[in-house]
Every structure is written in structure tokens, then in C-alpha cells.
Amino acid sequence: MIVRESFFDVPQVTLKTSAGEAPFPILYYDATALLLFYWCDPEPARALLEDTGLAPIRFFNGKALAGMGWYEYRKTDIGPYNEVGLAVAAAPEGRLPRLPLMQFLRQSASRVLGFYIIDLPVTTDIACAAGREMWGYPKFVTQIPFEIRDGKVSAAVLHPESGEPIVRLSGQLRHWLAVPGFNLVLYSNLENALLRTEVVTTGTVQTALRPGLRVETGPASHPMAEHVRQLGIDGSEPFACQFTSHFRSRLYLGQKVE
């Protein structure tokens, strides 16, 4: 039986998915999270957001922001699984913030800046079904080996059929500074509606600039590899990285954006 801390004492509802029932919000009790952030050209980001109702956010340097999150969920309401998310910072068209960096200082409930997920591979059927059917996330099931030992990172997303790497992550973590973690706002499309979802987190994360990590596309042909190349992430070092081996969060159902 899971011992719930006050952070997890929230009301939940149980809903059916094609892979079984799941409680919402989904609670994540113990996980490792590694978040990579890249500056990228706005036009490729805009192309990936076509017909979503969203536009990429331009920052002080004229660039758009791409993120890549690698997760090892050891204990959750829907069982353990791994996940990798490739996303672009965006906001509803016509509501782009004038000072986007200030958005990260706002409470997530009033934040317009969010991340639209381009690819979201996972390792279990229930995680895939819940993501696709409740939020419209672009999930697919595959193997995601993920290991961090003595600061050395070795991870990959494998092709669901051939088993070849779609993308690989490697490097040595370094130069950490502990800072409070922040909630995430995620956008998605489901049944012709734009959804806005909050991921509430707790705890601190280790943050580094120029962290010495690299994502590279592998030999497998897959849309995710093409998206990584399109955003200019392939072979490049992120400008910043956040890491925690004690990630805890609440993933709420999405709300329609009017």
C-alpha cells in the first residue's frame, strides 16, 4: 500500500481507457527526471505547431524554445514506466506573452506559456492509452533504456519494430545548482479541442548550464528522429538542463481552452 504524503492527498476520479481503468489526476510518487532545453529557430517550431491553434514563443534572443524530457517513473498510479517527451514552448495564437521569461515566475494556474508535445514514447500500454485517449498526446509504445550511474547518462528511444535507436542520449552530468522545481503547463489537441493541462510538482531540481549532454538521432527511420533534426537538436548540447532523482508530481486532466 502506498503511503500518501499531503502532496498526494487530492481527490481522484477513476476513468476507463482501452487498456484498463486509471485514476485522475495520475499521481507520480517516485521518479527520475532529466529535462533538456534548447534554443531553436522559430520557423521549424511553427511548422510543427501547424493546425494546433498554437504559435511558438519567441524569446529575448529571437529564438524559440524546445524541450526534451527523459523520465523513469518507478512508482505511479498506473504502474512503473519510462517516457521521453519532445516539446516546443507555445501559447494560443493571439495570446503570446510579451515577456515570456517572466511566465516561469508565475503560478501555473495563470501561466499562458506552455509546452506542446511533438513526440511522447512510453513503455507501457496503459500509459499510452491514457495519454492518447484523455489528452490526445502523440504517444507510442516502445523500449526506452534509461540509466544514470555516477553522473554518466546512457539512454535511448528504440524503434518499436526494428529495435534500432531512434534517438540516443549520452554524456556526463556536471556543475549542478539546486533550485526549486516548477510546475508545467502542457497543451494538446483532442477531438478538435485545444486542451491545457497542469502538471504540479514538488521538491528541488539540480540545474546546470552547458551540462555536457548530447542527443543524437540513430539509424532507425522514424518521425521522432526527423523532428529532432528539424528542431536542430541532433548532436547539439542543450543550453540548460534540470535533473532530479526524486521527481513527484500530479498530472491533471486537461481543460478546454476557449
Average pLDDT over residues 126-155: 97
- What residue segments make up the domains of the chain, in order of their start? 30-256
Determine the pLDDT at residue 101.
Answer: 80
d(CA 232, CA 188): 22
Q: What is the pLDDT of residues 206-257, one digit of tens each?
A: 999 988 899 999 999 999 999 999 999 999 999 999 999 999 999 999 999 9
pLDDT, tens digit (0-9, with 9 covering 90-100), for 39-96 = 999 999 999 999 999 999 999 999 999 999 999 999 999 999 999 999 999 999 988 8
CB of 165 closer than 8 Å to CB of 224: no
Name the nearest CA neighbour of 92 among 116, 68, 128: 116
Contact 234, 217 (CB under 8 A): yes
Q: For the sheet containing 152-158, what is the strand order?
A: 146-149, 152-158, 165-172, 213-217
Q: For position 10, what pLDDT does the model report? A: 96
Distance CA 35, CA 127 (A): 20
* DSSP string for residues in 66-102: EEEEEEEEEEETT--EEEEEEEEEEEETT---SSGGG
Maximum Cα–Cα distance for the chain, whole Å?
50
Tell me how crowded residue 107 is: count the other CB atoms within 10 A of its CB.
9
CA-to-CA dists, residue 79 to 7, 23, 73, 127, 199, angstroms: 19, 11, 8, 9, 18
At residue 2 the predicted structure's pLDDT band, cuts being 50, 70 and 90, is very low
Give per-residue pLDDT as tens, 105-134: 888 888 999 999 999 999 999 999 999 999
Mean pLDDT of 159-182: 92
How does residue 29 score in pLDDT terms, banded at 50, 70 and 90? very high
Q: Which residue has the cell 514514447?
A: 121
pLDDT at 147 over 70: yes
Is the preceding omega at residue 211 within 30 degrees of 0, hence cis? no
CATH architecture of the domain with residue range 30-256: Beta Barrel (2.40)
Residues 6+ apart with CB under 8 A from 41: 63, 64, 232
What is the band of 181 on the pLDDT scale with cuts at 50, 70, 90?
A: confident
